[in-house]
């Protein structure tokens, strides 16, 4: 008799995740460990998303968050016995993968973000809620970031620190749909560095 597949459980408070060994009757996810160095807060959606996307790529789970993979029915009609419903193995595989991804999403959130996802039960629902809450920046917020970039002064920062802050603001603007061209970014940076 073979022993049941092992799973590793790490409490939600930990920043490390381990993919479980899913029974061989389902498409298995590769056992892996990942540490989220960046937990999602209300101010770092772009960095958090950038960190999370390689996990989706590596585990081939994009379809769970983009809606192209929908929940299969729990039961199917038996191919051998007329009018008999049997458990659908595709449902079990889909559900296990989605719940694993959901646990990864939850473990990558800062405590302040949890109210945005309470009551959501699929990874697509959580991903969509987070994108709507933090990914789509209002015009007022876009304007605020643009003004911050325009007014960012070097002060006591090193050139490298200043450019890092300026690039971060520029990236936030790009993610919000208001790109700053390289020429404009350079003009703002040179003007602000030179004004000290």
The residue that leads in pLDDT, 161 or 11, is 161
Domains of the chain, residue spans: 16-135, 139-194
Condensed to tens digits (0 to 9), the pLDDT of residues 40-76 reads 988 788 888 888 999 888 888 989 998 888 889 999 9
Q: Look at residues 86, 84, 64 and name the one whose alpha carbon lies nearest to residue 75.
A: 86
Q: Look at residues 45, 38, 54, 41 and name the one whose alpha carbon lies nearest to residue 172.
A: 45
Q: Which residues pair with 159 in a beta bridge?
A: none
pTM (two decimals): 0.62
Q: Look at residues 193, 141, 194, 133 and name the one whose alpha carbon lies nearest to residue 165.
A: 193
């Amino acid at each position: 008799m073979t022993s049941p597949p092992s799973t590793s459980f790490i409490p939600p408070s930990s920043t490390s995740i381990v993919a479980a060994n899913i029974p061989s009757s389902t498409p298995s996810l590769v056992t892996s460990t990942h540490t989220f160095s960046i937990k999602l807060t209300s101010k770092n959606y772009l960095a958090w998303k950038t960190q999370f996307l390689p996990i989706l790529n590596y585990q081939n789970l994009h379809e769970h968050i983009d809606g192209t993979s929908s929940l299969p029915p729990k039961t199917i009609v038996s191919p051998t016995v007329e009018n008999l419903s049997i458990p659908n193995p595709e449902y079990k595989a889909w559900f296990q993968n989605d719940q694993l991804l959901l646990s990864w999403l939850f473990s990558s959130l800062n405590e302040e973000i949890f109210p945005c996802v309470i009551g959501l039960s699929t990874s697509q629902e959580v991903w969509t809620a987070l994108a709507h809450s933090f990914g789509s920046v209002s015009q007022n917020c876009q304007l605020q970031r643009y003004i911050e970039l325009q007014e960012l002064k070097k002060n006591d920062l090193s050139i490298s620190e200043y450019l890092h802050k300026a690039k971060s603001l520029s990236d936030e603007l790009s993610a919000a749909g208001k790109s700053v061209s390289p020429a404009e970014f350079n003009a703002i940076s040179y003007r602000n560095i030179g004004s000290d």
